[in-house]
Structure 1
């Protein structure tokens, strides 16, 4: 009977986590159903309906009767920033003739409702969070692969994305799919190393992780690649010691590991000889990615390419270069304008943390930057302690948000605030979680052991 009750509880927690995934990472599946399966091409109403369904799935049976404490400092800073943004949208708008008040308010409403529901969701979703994320991201990746296979306008070498609203080939949003792949890869890695993970689920983690890595390569998004490298650096910095490296090296030079490495190299060589097209595709993506980034570097330093042509920045890098020049001009001659800012969405800078400063002034910059600074602080602590799977996932997931703070989007977008809301709910408060949800639980007092020793 206890096992049946636990299964039913886990299914209920899974329902809530699926709702969270729809809000945080729903765009890949939305694009698949909306554009690939042609259920509602180009329909923003369909997107809003799916997000609403995600919110409904998140509602626990104890809603408004049992609340859980979030990170209060980050919570109130976020509420103040969102309120400030809404106030600026109506009272100090930087766009002449702005007419999108209703649409913007829908986004803010979704963000605030999401944050409210997270406070109602029990901590026990930690038990099922990682498996649900692995499966959810796997289905999203499979949807993308199906869309690419059935899209006659897509060819090997193009960035992997789903074409939106019958637009030009590659006119979709590859960042949505790279985020999905990044989340999936982190979740697969965490599930794989969990000591209580079943062998079959470990194999599923390896399979899903390989697909996530392949999608990351296919989307060719710099922010996700940089974030993955950053996450790997922090992982090794906090989890690998010099003694472990020395032990691993000594174990590798033994006969059996050497033989296994030789066999693995031979198998890989034979595979690529048999399927040379796979090798050519991988090489093409790597070379194209490197050339595009090297050309940006050449353009920044003002040199030409080896063919004699002058290097130019790509669209995103060029836009950020213009944004940096604009911000430099403001600092040089219009510094006073940054006290209150230039107004809501005055200029698309493609650098969210900079745009928060330019649009909303000092207060907006302090609030938006402060929330992210605190999130980074807690993320580093979680990486070092590894308290539970959910917090560990959020800490490494934040590496992508951190990179995008300087490379992609606007500070008002739900692509920032849905993940940040999840981090506000669970990061910095893990010491309040019950012992059975922790990787390293604190022993509870018993008849034979006291947590606090009795005075002599």
Structure 2
């Protein structure tokens, strides 16, 4: 009977985590059902209903009866920034006939509801969080693969995405949503693979899902996700790999069994590419295309010429927009510095650099709140990477590397695609000392400052 109760509890926690995944990373599956399956092509109402379904799945049976403490400082800084954005939208809007206030208020409502439900979600979702993310991202990737295979407008060489709006331009979609899904999957698979006492079936599932995630990252050709993955890998090596471990691993490679395994692996890879040579050609094509596109951008930024004297390199659209944003910001600093006190107003200019836009549009206060909450997340993520307290915290710490790159490279500071993951970090980052001891991977934690953790006591 006790085993049945524990199983039902675990399924209930999984249900909540699925709801979180729909909010945090639901767009790939939403696009699949909306566009590929054809349930509601181009419908924003379908997207809103799907996200509402995610919120419904998150509701625990203890809702409103048991609340869990988030990172209080980050909570109030995040809420203050959102309230500042709403205030600017109604009272300091540079566009007198702004028609999107209702739509934007729906976005802010979803963010606040998500954060509120997270405060109701119990800490006991921690053990099941990473496995659910692995499966959720795998299903999303399989949906993308099916969509690409069945899409007559998509061809090898284009960025992997699901065509939106029921047949727009070939490949017109949002590859960033799929690259985020793949990045989350890589991080979750890595955490599950290194976790001890995992059944061989789940290790193989994680390995397969991880390889597919990396393939999707390559296919989406999204710079921010690739840079974030390299940063996460470097940080993982820095915090978890020591010179003595490297020496031991190298010595262990020259034993008969590892040598045999490597030979079998090399022969298997060679045989695979000989049998399916087109796969290698596709990979080489994507890598070369990615390198050429980024070199083109580098040439253009340096004002150089490539491919002969008659050809001048040009910036791609996103980089050109950020270049113009940097020029605008320099002009503000040079001759209109006083405008940064209050900012230019709500969504005045799309700079494609969220941290810069927070200062330009929302002034010093907006920059302090937006930059402050991100600075705190980065600080706590660094500590988590060093100590590895629990799988959920470790996942969020490495996942933040993607968010960190994006606040410097693309998006807006008040977008839901940014604030959904930030809400999750506000709830679980920097409060590891409040979690029960049985959720820690290193046993009962020590006394930290003014907090003392009592084993098996669930804080409220």
Q: TM-score range by the shorter chain?
A: over 0.9
Mapped to 2, the partners of 1:271 and 1:171 lie a distance apart of 32
Where in structure 2 are the equivalents of 1:43-192 lying within 5 Å?
A: 43-165=43-165, 166-192=167-193
Q: C-alpha deviations, 1:242-290, integer Å up to 9, x for none?
A: 1111111222233443343333223322321222111100000000000
* Residue equivalent to 1:15: 15
Q: TM-score w.r.t. structure 1 length?
A: 0.96
Work out whether residues 296 and 315 of structure 2, in 8 Å CA contact, stay in contact via their aligned partners in 1.
yes
SS of alignment partner, residue 152 of structure 1? coil
Mapped to 1, the partners of 2:8 and 2:163 lie a distance apart of 39
Q: TM-score w.r.t. structure 2 length?
A: 0.95
Quote the offset at 1:197 in angstroms.
1.6
Mapped to 1, the partners of 2:441 and 2:84 lie a distance apart of 39
Q: Against the structure 1 CA distance between its residues 279 and 85, is the aligned structure 2 distance closer, same or farther, given a 3 Å change threshold?
A: same
Mapped to 2, the partners of 1:257 and 1:138 lie a distance apart of 30
Moved more, 256-265 or 56-65: 256-265
Moved more, 268-277 or 118-127: 268-277
Q: Against the structure 1 CA distance between its residues 175 and 61, is the aligned structure 2 distance closer, same or farther, given a 3 Å change threshold?
A: same
Q: C-alpha deviations, 1:370-392, integer Å up to 9, x for none?
A: 00010000111101111000000
* Residue equivalent to 1:414: 416
Q: C-alpha deviations, 1:29-86, integer Å up to 9, x for none?
A: 1101111111111111111111111111111110111000000000000000000000
SS of alignment partner, residue 405 of structure 1? helix
Where in structure 2 are the equivalents of 1:191-202 lying within 5 Å?
A: 191-202=192-203
The one of 310, 325, 338 aligned to 1:323: 325
Moved more, 86-95 or 337-346: 86-95
* Residue equivalent to 2:344: 342
Where in structure 2 are the equivalents of 1:419-438 lying within 5 Å?
A: 419-438=421-440
Work out whether residues 94 and 359 of structure 1, in 8 Å CA contact, stay in contact via their aligned partners in 2.
no
Mapped to 1, the partners of 2:13 and 2:253 lie a distance apart of 43
1:357 aligns with 2:354: no
* Residue equivalent to 1:448: none
Quote the offset at 1:199 in angstroms.
1.2
* Residue equivalent to 1:231: 232
* Residue equivalent to 2:372: 370
SS of alignment partner, residue 68 of structure 2? coil
Work out whether residues 179 and 222 of structure 2, in 8 Å CA contact, stay in contact via their aligned partners in 1.
yes
Work out whether residues 348 and 361 of structure 2, in 8 Å CA contact, stay in contact via their aligned partners in 1.
yes
Quote the offset at 1:185 in angstroms.
1.0
Mapped to 2, the partners of 1:264 and 1:144 lie a distance apart of 28
Q: Against the structure 1 CA distance between its residues 443 and 229, is the aligned structure 2 distance closer, same or farther, given a 3 Å change threshold?
A: closer
Work out whether residues 438 and 444 of structure 2, in 8 Å CA contact, stay in contact via their aligned partners in 1.
no
Q: Against the structure 1 CA distance between its residues 331 and 405, is the aligned structure 2 distance closer, same or farther, given a 3 Å change threshold?
A: same
Mapped to 2, the partners of 1:181 and 1:262 lie a distance apart of 30
1:211 aligns with 2:212: yes
Gaps of 5+ in 1: 445-450
Work out whether residues 433 and 445 of structure 2, in 8 Å CA contact, stay in contact via their aligned partners in 1.
no
Moved more, 337-346 or 270-279: 270-279
* Residue equivalent to 1:389: 391
* Residue equivalent to 2:457: none
Q: Against the structure 1 CA distance between its residues 17 and 443, is the aligned structure 2 distance closer, same or farther, given a 3 Å change threshold?
A: closer
Mapped to 2, the partners of 1:352 and 1:14 lie a distance apart of 33
Quote the offset at 1:306 in angstroms.
2.9
Q: C-alpha deviations, 1:351-397, integer Å up to 9, x for none?
A: 00100000000000000010001000011110111100000000010
Work out whether residues 161 and 174 of structure 1, in 8 Å CA contact, stay in contact via their aligned partners in 2.
yes
Gaps of 5+ in 2: 447-452, 455-460
Mapped to 1, the partners of 2:324 and 2:198 lie a distance apart of 49
* Residue equivalent to 2:289: 288
Mapped to 2, the partners of 1:244 and 1:95 lie a distance apart of 59
Q: Against the structure 1 CA distance between its residues 110 and 348, is the aligned structure 2 distance closer, same or farther, given a 3 Å change threshold?
A: same
How many residue pairs match? The answer is 446
Q: C-alpha deviations, 1:306-345, integer Å up to 9, x for none?
A: 3331111100011001001100110011000000000000
Quote the offset at 1:443 in angstroms.
7.5
Mapped to 1, the partners of 2:196 and 2:444 lie a distance apart of 18
SS of alignment partner, residue 408 of structure 2? coil
Mapped to 2, the partners of 1:134 and 1:257 lie a distance apart of 28
1:440 aligns with 2:442: yes
Q: C-alpha deviations, 1:186-218, integer Å up to 9, x for none?
A: 111111111132111111101111111111111
* Residue equivalent to 2:449: none
Mapped to 1, the partners of 2:375 and 2:39 lie a distance apart of 41
Mapped to 2, the partners of 1:408 and 1:186 lie a distance apart of 21
